[in-house]
């Protein structure tokens, strides 16, 4: 298993670190346009190998896509991150050009790769890769829902005063503050619905805190978060590499599923060796359906800003 991570910033380096520590990949290539930056990050990470007990080889390269040849999975984190007060949608002008160029260069050297898109606005950038490349749709995946669901579980555990391993919850819809749909009605603590433990008001607070999870961190850090995004990507890559058939909510190109078409948006997907192996159609309440449709309208509006 060879994995390429494009963008050696905080998110990309965290992706590489978590993938290496899990020790399921033979090689991780970290690529960046800044001279020496990826090489330095790779060297620093390799110097942790004996301490963290992994044998994955991490290589850093400056803008040389030939070094990514034969990658089974490619992760695109490149682009400008959010700053306080910015929405993910405001990044589209610069990041669209970057993502389109990067995906083309990756596929040139790894025509059978699976691409995971992290760059924001994530659903629109995922849609752009679908529209600008010839990869089959099961091989293009957006990361957002996996991250949003992790943030949802964090807030649920916090509200319940429970260990996070006891909590299950999922976020579907667009990866945006207004668009994401935390499925609070289905959230559970060890198979018991959280409504048995929490008031309606507290549940609503969990939902709202989840939806602004990224913005909250951007306000605190002065830039986008990186640990949880890196962990979300590494979990998805591991599911593909190890063919685990694990379900992740992630951005997939829909063709009638959930009554939606011609957009990439977060829905539950089975991930395995072929990328998205199944889009899982779960039963939604009328309120959940309405929120998903509203979210889809927001994603399509952002997609309309693309120059394809």
Residue 70, pLDDT score: 98
Q: Looking at the structure, tell me whether residues 279 and 205 fall in a common domain.
A: yes
The two beta strands, 57-62 and 275-279, are unpaired
Q: Looking at the structure, tell me whether residues 9 and 116 fall in a common domain.
A: yes
Residue 91, pLDDT score: 73
List CB contacts of 296: < 8 A, sequence separation 6 or more.
173, 174, 260, 263, 265
Residue 89, pLDDT score: 66
Q: Looking at the structure, tell me whether residues 133 and 24 fall in a common domain.
A: yes
Residue 235, pLDDT score: 98
Residue 92, pLDDT score: 81
Residue positions annotated with a catalytic role:
175
Q: Which regions of 15-104 does DSSP assign to beta strands (E)?
A: 27-32, 57-62, 73-76
Give the pair of three-digit tokens for residue 216.
Answer: 């909250």
Q: Looking at the structure, tell me whether residues 84 and 37 fall in a common domain.
A: yes
Residue 62, pLDDT score: 97
Identify the H or E element spanning 4. Answer: strand 2-6
Q: Looking at the structure, tell me whether residues 84 and 99 fall in a common domain.
A: yes
Domain count, the chain: 2
| Among candidate residues 100, 119, 144, the one where a domain is terminated | 144
DSSP state for residue 97 in the 8-state scheme: H
Residue 210, pLDDT score: 98
Host domain of residue 268: 145-303
Residue 305, pLDDT score: 87
pLDDT digits (tens, 9 = 90+) for 182-219: 999 999 999 999 999 999 999 999 999 999 999 999 99
Phi, psi of 91 (to 5 degrees): -90, -5
Residue 214, pLDDT score: 92
How far CA 170 is from CA of 124, 259, 265, in Å, comes to 21, 19, 14
Is there a domain that residue 269 lies in?
yes
Chain centroid to Cα 176, Å, comes to 12
Q: Looking at the structure, tell me whether residues 115 and 230 fall in a common domain.
A: no
Residues in the chain, pLDDT under 70? 81-83, 85-90
What does the alpha-carbon distance between residue 15 and residue 5 come to, in Å, rounded to a whole number?
7
3-state secondary structure 211-279: HCHHHHHHHHHCCCCCHHHHHHHHHHHHHHHCCCCEEEEEEEEEECHHHCEEEEEEEEEEEECCEEEEE
Residue 79, pLDDT score: 84
Q: Looking at the structure, tell me whether residues 22 and 114 fall in a common domain.
A: yes
Instruction: State the CATH number of the domain containing residue 131.
Output: 3.40.50.720
């Amino acid at each position: 298993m060879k994995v390429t991570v494009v963008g050696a910033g905080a998110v990309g380096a965290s992706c590489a670190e978590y993938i290496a520590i899990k020790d399921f990949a033979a090689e991780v290539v970290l690529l960046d346009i800044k001279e020496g930056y990826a090489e330095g990050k790779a060297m620093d990470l390799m110097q942790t190998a004996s301490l963290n007990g992994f044998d994955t080889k991490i290589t850093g390269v400056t803008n040389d896509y030939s070094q990514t040849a034969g990658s089974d999975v490619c992760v695109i984190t490149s682009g400008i991150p959010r700053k306080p007060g910015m929405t993910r949608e405001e990044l589209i002008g610069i990041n669209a050009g970057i993502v389109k160029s990067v995906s083309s260069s990756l596929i040139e050297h790894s025509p059978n790769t699976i691409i995971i898109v992290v760059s924001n606005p994530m659903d629109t950038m995922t849609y752009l890769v679908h529209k600008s490349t010839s990869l089959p749709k099961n091989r293009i995946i957006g990361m957002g829902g996996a991250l949003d669901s992790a943030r949802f579980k964090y807030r649920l555990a916090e509200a319940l005063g429970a260990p996070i391993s006891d909590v299950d919850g999922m976020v579907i819809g667009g990866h945006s503050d207004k668009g994401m749909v935390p499925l609070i009605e289905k959230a559970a603590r060890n198979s018991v619905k959280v409504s048995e433990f929490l008031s309606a008001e507290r549940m609503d607070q969990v939902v709202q805190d989840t939806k602004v999870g990224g913005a909250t961190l951007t306000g605190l850090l002065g830039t986008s978060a990186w640990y949880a995004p890196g962990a979300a990507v590494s979990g998805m890559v591991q599911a593909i590499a190890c063919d685990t058939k694990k379900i992740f909510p992630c951005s997939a190109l829909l063709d009638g599923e959930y009554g939606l078409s011609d957009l990439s948006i977060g829905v539950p997907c089975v991930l395995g060796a072929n990328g998205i192996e199944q889009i899982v159609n779960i039963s939604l309440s009328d309120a959940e359906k309405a929120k998903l449709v509203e979210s889809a309208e927001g994603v399509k509006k952002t997609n309309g800003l693309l120059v394809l």
